[in-house]
Amino acid sequence: MTVRVIAVINQKGGVGKTTTTANLAHALAKLGKKVVAIDFDPQGHLAVSFGVYDRNQSGIDAVLLGHADLKACLIDVRENLKLLIAGPKLQEIEQLAEGGVHRGDLLRQALNNQLDEQDFVFIDCPPSSGLLVANALFATEEILIPMTGDFLALQGLSNLMGTIKKFEQALKKTYKIQLVLSRYTPLRRLSGDVLKKLQHYFPKQILATTIRETALLAECPSFGKTILEYRSSSRSARDFRKLATDFLEGRVM
């Protein structure tokens, strides 16, 4: 079976991209799937979420710049789960002036046949629409969009879909797009209204389990743990275990 490469994207910040990537990746790994998580945000928050704090270590930055081998940079962070950190020079990719359109194809080339023994590769993207996100879109066939239950997030989603459509036209391909409701507050009427709008515009594309808003998910990274380790019996841990099953089985709203 071919490795599935999933870009976790939303141009709006604070929607739970890194939280979703870290906890979903770990939940899938605990189900026996072989997973690689790529920290593609120069801020490096995904690495911190797994308890990796060395920001000067070579990572995907060195791979893209041709200074390191991808497999040599992989870090075993949990059973069945490997991490490729951002590295200190990832921001330099955004400033690349040479190479023309090939600047956007660096990640796809780096991943080419390198991770075929894996089941999933998750790319935690920065909240932007720059060259890094372009690289993620070149490299993947699947997009996972974390969404919060507010109307500003809906506005941001509209902009993101415009970007995705442009890439689909340019690359002559159609992405498999799924959404996950993260930081969801079920008792807020606004959250319910946003969910209804999403179901109208994205039928059969929203994963069945919503990730409910909780302080625990915000606390985890400061301990370098996922929710499955930090509070394994919490409702948040249950949410992510169910989300992993949704993802594997294609369960949608």
What are 98-126's pLDDT values in tens digits? Answer: 655 678 899 999 999 899 999 999 999 99
80-95 mean pLDDT: 93
Q: Is the pLDDT confidence value at 188 over 90?
A: no
pLDDT in tens, 37-74: 999 999 999 999 999 998 788 899 999 999 999 999 99
Give percent above pLDDT 90 in the chain: 78
pLDDT score for 99: 58
Pairing label, strands 120-124, 35-39 = parallel
Q: pTM for this one? A: 0.95
pLDDT in tens, 235-249: 999 999 999 999 999
pLDDT score for 102: 77
pLDDT score for 225: 98
Give CA separation, 239 vs 24, 37, 100, 112, 182, in Å: 10, 20, 43, 33, 10
pLDDT score for 101: 66
For the CA atoms of the chain, what is the radius of gyration?
A: 17
CATH superfamily of 4-249: P-loop containing nucleotide triphosphate hydrolases (3.40.50.300)
> Which amino acid is residue 163, in one-letter code?
T
Neighbours of 219 (CB within 10 A): 13
- Per the prediction, the chain carries an average pLDDT of 93
pLDDT score for 103: 87
Length of the chain (residues):
253
213-224 mean pLDDT: 95
pLDDT score for 94: 81
pLDDT score for 187: 77
